[in-house]
């Protein structure tokens, strides 16, 4: 977020970076197409449920558990091994996200702590709070230097302050920054990727851009691939205007692909009803 300087609304300043306005407009058009589909007027709950399942599958894939959608759909036990536990954590987070929308703008740190608690699904001392100095972080698929616990705490507080203050930044920009900061900081000892992508979803839904949660960015992130995800994240962490803009554009493309996925679901339901 260093590219925003000392402006009163640093998130809004990021919206002025080259190419970001185009990404914002493209995302808006993609979302509008889904919401304008005739099936959305009759079966929006079914589309929301399917988007949640597909989003959870996509997020789990980015954390190393790349299961087929039908495998996620049919399974009921997610305790067997590390991959199963990752998929289970992703499903729990997706279900929990909708319960936290009203809290996010008032207390984002409380929401993040809750998300980590839900993902970890245990009562260990490290669960549900930011990591402390000397505590290891289990996030092997994010290959970035790990900030100190003190730096992570400070930047997390700063991010929370921006969210509480609000502002005029487009939802895509805020969602991308929340997602990028949480991955860069890895403030918890585990499940940071899953938590970051769930927080992105909360911003997109709570902002009103995707109020019915039918445009799962997690689907798009998974489709774009893990290497492209990490490359874009490295651009964000660099703090350069080009790098930050590229990360926002990457997140925008992920939302567009999520919207396309739900449009395909709408089309399938429409054919079935014909």
DSSP string for 104-170? HTT-HHHHHHHHHHHHH-S--TTTTS---TT---B-TT--SPPPPHHHHHHHHHHHHHHHHH--S--
Please answer whether residues 212 and 256 qualify as being in contact, where contact means their C-beta atoms are separated by less than 8 angstroms.
no
For tokens 């558990």, the residue is 65
Q: What is the mean pLDDT of residues 100-107?
A: 96
Percent of the chain, pLDDT > 90? 88
Q: What confidence tier does 124 reach under pLDDT thresholds 50, 70, 90? A: confident
Q: Report the pLDDT value the prediction gives residue 5, as an integer from 0 to 100.
A: 42
**198-220 residue pLDDT tens:** 999 999 999 999 999 999 999 99
**31-52 residue pLDDT tens:** 999 999 999 989 999 999 999 9
Q: What is the mean pLDDT of residues 21-29?
A: 97
């Amino acid at each position: 977020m260093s590219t925003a300087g000392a402006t009163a609304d640093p998130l809004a300043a990021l919206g002025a970076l080259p190419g970001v306005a185009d990404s914002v407009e493209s995302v808006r058009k993609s979302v509008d197409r889904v919401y304008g589909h005739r099936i959305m007027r009759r079966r929006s709950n079914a589309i929301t449920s399917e988007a949640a399942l597909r989003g959870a599958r996509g997020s789990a894939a980015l954390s190393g558990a790349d299961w087929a959608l039908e495998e996620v759909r049919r399974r009921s036990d997610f305790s067997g091994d590390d991959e199963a536990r990752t998929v289970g954590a992703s499903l729990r987070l997706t279900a929990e996200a909708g319960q936290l929308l009203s809290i996010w703008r008032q207390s984002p740190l409380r929401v993040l702590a809750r998300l980590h608690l839900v993902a970890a699904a245990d009562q260990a001392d490290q669960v549900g709070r930011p990591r402390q100095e000397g505590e290891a972080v289990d996030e092997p698929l994010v290959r970035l230097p790990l900030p100190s616990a003190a730096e992570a705490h400070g930047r997390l507080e700063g991010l929370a302050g921006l969210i509480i203050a609000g502002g005029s930044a487009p939802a895509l920009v805020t969602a991308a920054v929340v997602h990028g900061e949480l991955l860069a900081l890895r403030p918890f000892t585990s499940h940071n990727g899953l938590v970051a992508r769930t927080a992105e979803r909360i911003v997109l839904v709570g902002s009103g851009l995707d109020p019915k949660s039918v445009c799962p960015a997690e689907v798009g992130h998974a489709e774009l691939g893990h290497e492209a995800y990490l490359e874009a994240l490295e651009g964000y962490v660099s703090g350069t205007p080009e790098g930050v803009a590229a990360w926002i554009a990457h997140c925008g493309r992920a939302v567009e692909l999520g919207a396309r996925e739900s449009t395909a679901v709408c089309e399938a339901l429409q054919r079935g009803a014909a």
